[in-house]
Chain A
């Protein structure tokens, strides 16, 4: 099959986007400036040595359970309700490999926020995408929607909760501290700061070291941009690291546009109601007028 699903995604969203006039602006009132001022993270895979210090720090900070029941502790293999971030190894060849980090990317136009039926996910003014369990009904639409597979759910609990990275907002960020992962990384592979500055920094790193870096900054434009961005070593493609080129339109854009269209001042539903009511009443009148003659020439 010549087309891969992912190739398709790119073209179809661009196409869908232009046909329906969807622009990123149809989302919350984000501006270039407000996005630049958001908190963000720059993950530099060329610096990461895979010590997984960030993973452990995250677990400790959030008080999450260890993996399995065995007292001999082991590494998780996927994001789950007890592991909000994960370091994975991508081995291209003996000498070309890198470690890549996974977590919530705190999207500029987050799909989870678009879809959550009860506004349990919101994007704060400082860009942090946060979750409120008191609103959540546990429908898991956020899991279906997030392209980065970040939200996880406690399937084995009777009273389950959704989990994902929150930039340590309660225990650190709102007290003026950097998130735990960024502060423990011994190699400085995780840089925390304002998104605009981090983007600048990422560009400079690539410019100063074109031999070292893949020229692409992942998260700069993907699905409308993300607060957490990535640099990769030269010769390693982001697609192989699980960071796909999803196109620039946020996945939630089309649906937001349609919902806005329908519920703009409730005009379409009210108009439909009115039209049907007029139709019903006039049909009824007609029926009374020419009485029993309804059978003839009936098309339905």
Chain B
């Protein structure tokens, strides 16, 4: 698995980059305010609706969209499809940034953040809680991702002028490289665990989530949809990165990649609809919530399914991109519906995200793009064009 990558070394300060930095600055002010005056001072959260977009979007949706990292790694290293190896490093840094951002937003959202190390203390272990599992998995997976990044950094610094960096790179690089396969498998196992556990989290909220979204199959559905969305996210990421670095968009290899996506979508769709029908929830499809459900399913399952199995749509750069975008929006909608939109508040309460919450989310999204640009610009992430 030879990866032939190089740093981009291009001009960093483009107009879009500046916009991102401005959003980061604004979000940083809100963040500071939140830590001084409390969550209530910047959010619209309340006893009536305890989880808002910081959890539903920044953490839950973010982690689902970062699944590209582990699906790509599994494809290349476990199923040994070497021809896709140019895509593995970009997917890795996307996952690394995505999980870093998710971890940061957990820190922002939890009230007693200074005790966040508690899940590591045996006196606090609570194996019955899916959130306990998620917190351990996110910490471990982030460590694994950082380790997976070590060979990339080592490649950059192995001939560095700085003697310390050079010796570190030459010592650490080969060690991690040897363990890489086993780290990657660990990352895949941890991912399947917490992607599904994010579905389990809402099982208990049976009194709160609409029955069309609340099912015993939630953990399975969350896992399968995260796997399914992995490659379409890689498509979008490749497109954005091609635009940012003025490279060509490699639709050819990507359209081969998404050939597998319809399989997962089919499994997902069959399970989800059988469950609705067997457990007698079909009647809900005729309500307003049913409409939302159908819109979500059209975007997440049906439209991408037909576009990805269609040879013509899949192999045209536009078709490929449009199908991927539709599916990603569908997935975002699915996670928001499950965690937020169909959540029925305590009687008398309501929620709509505040400006502060939106600014923080904008900061986190900007961090992803700005971080990606900086990493790909300075480290051998993107493959050399031929």
Measured CB to CB, the residues of A under 8 A from B are: 1-3, 5, 8-9, 11-13, 15-16, 19-20, 77-80, 111, 114-120, 133-141, 143-145, 147, 149, 152-161, 242, 244, 246, 251-252, 254-256, 258-260, 262-263, 269, 272-273, 276-277, 279-281, 283-284, 286-287, 294-295, 298-300
Contacts and interface: CB of A to CB of B under 8 A. Distances in A.
- Name the residue in B205, B219, B283 with the highest tally of chain A Cβ atoms < 10 Å from its Cβ: B205
B133 A283 contact: no
B48 to A, nearest CB: 8
A256 B219 CA distance: 13
Contact of A158 (B35, B51, B286): B35
B194 to A, nearest CB: 11
A259 B130 contact: yes
B204 A12 contact: no
A92 to B, nearest CB: 17
10 contacts: A80-B47, A139-B110, A144-B50, A160-B112, A252-B128, A263-B127, A269-B193, A277-B185, A280-B185, A286-B80
A242 B346 CA distance: 11
Interface of B: 35-41, 43, 45-47, 50-51, 74-75, 77-83, 109-113, 115-116, 118-119, 123-135, 181-182, 185-186, 188-189, 192-193, 200-201, 203-208, 210-211, 214, 216, 219, 256-257, 259-260, 279-281, 283-284, 286-287, 344, 346-348
B126 A117 contact: yes
Contact of A118 (B118, B182, B211, B219): B118
Given A1-B287, A280-B80, A156 B126 contact: no
B203 A254 contact: yes
B81 A294 contact: yes
A255 B130 contact: yes
Contacts of A116: 126, 129
Nearest to B205: A144
Contact of A15 (B41, B279, B286): B279
Say what secondary structure dominates the interface of chain B: helix
Contacts of A294: 80-83
A254 B128 CA distance: 10
Contact of B216 (A8, A16, A111, A300): A16
B200 A255 contact: yes
A288 to B, nearest CB: 10
Contacts of B279: 12, 15
A154 B130 contact: no
B128 A155 contact: no
Nearest to A13: B206
Given A118-B124, A158-B36, A262-B193, A111 B81 contact: no
B112 A136 contact: yes
Given A1-B284, A251-B206, A295 B38 contact: no
Given A135-B123, A136-B112, A137-B116, A12 B47 contact: no
Given A118-B132, A283-B78, 15 more contacts: A114-B129, A115-B129, A118-B119, A119-B126, A135-B118, A137-B118, A141-B131, A152-B47, A153-B47, A158-B38, A251-B207, A259-B130, A272-B189, A283-B79, A300-B257
